[in-house]
Amino acid sequence: MKLAFIGIGNVGFAIANKLQQNGHEIIVASTKEMSKSLDTALEKNPNFSVLPLQHAVNNGDVIFVATPFFATEALLAGIDFKGKTLVDCTNPVGAGLTHGLKSVESGSEYLQKIVPSANVVKAFTIYGYENLVEQWFENASIRPMMPFAGNNIECKVLVAKLIEEMGFEPMDCGDLSQALHLEHMTLLWVTMVRKWQLSPKLVWAAIRGE
């Protein structure tokens, strides 16, 4: 597939790099705000192609947004996603590791209002980028899970396949309102790893009884 990335920092690059190695074509959206991270990404992987933002969206089969959450509205307002899948990799983190929207609604629901022409699916958010760069758990007996949430079933099927390619067990958590709980999981991970200095090699698995 052709995968377009809006935002190519630590998280965006880790996902794009892995999926490009799996045979997908990676298109990176070019904007003034992302010029430095784009230059860094192309130094690491010159196989990415670059297009202006709307053109990147037009040419992508699935679109990823991995920018700072509070930059998304100014960046994406007015972009036509033509009903395509928009994978929301952002997190609304507020001061003191609080939820940036005060837990009134998820960042994904907020994003869906900004881009009604997209089908937003929340994914790739509950861990730090380290676990996307290095799948250190490849030989573990239990695969870590990656939860995702969205309103469109067909779009979620596409995202689940990409999650599997990244080495995780996809876990459908329901509609987009469930993204709020995933964002709280992110805050938990960030608190434990970034604040308490636990190892970033921290993931969760789903263990099911009969």
| Predicted confidence (pLDDT) per residue in 108-152, tens digit | 999 999 999 999 999 999 999 999 998 888 888 889 999 999 999
List the end-to-end C-alpha distance of the chain, in Å, as a whole number: 36
What percentage of the chain has pLDDT greater than the value 70? 99
Q: How many CA atoms lie within 13 A of 159 on its CB side?
A: 29
Structure tokens that stand for 66 in this block:
């991995």
Please give the Cα distance from 16 to 23 (Å, whole number).
Answer: 11
Residue spans per domain, the chain? 2-195
Question: How do residues 38-75 score in pLDDT, each as one tens digit?
Answer: 999 999 999 999 999 999 999 999 999 999 999 999 99
- For residue 181, the surrounding DSSP H or E stretch is helix 179-190
Give dist(CA 51, CA 30) in Å, integer: 6
Report field, pTM of the whole predicted structure over 0.85: yes
Average confidence score pLDDT of the chain: 95
CA geometry: angle 179, 113, 60, nearest 5 deg:
80
pLDDT tens digits for range 68-87? 999 999 999 999 999 999 99
Q: Compute the Cα dihedral for 167, 159, 47, 71 and give only its sign.
A: negative
The reported pLDDT for the residue numbered 205 is 94
Under the banding of pLDDT at 50, 70 and 90, the label for residue 35 is confident
Does the domain at residues 2-195 carry the CATH identifier 3.40.50.720? Answer: yes
Q: Categorize the per-residue pLDDT at 98 as very low, low, confident or very high, splitting at 50, 70 and 90.
A: very high
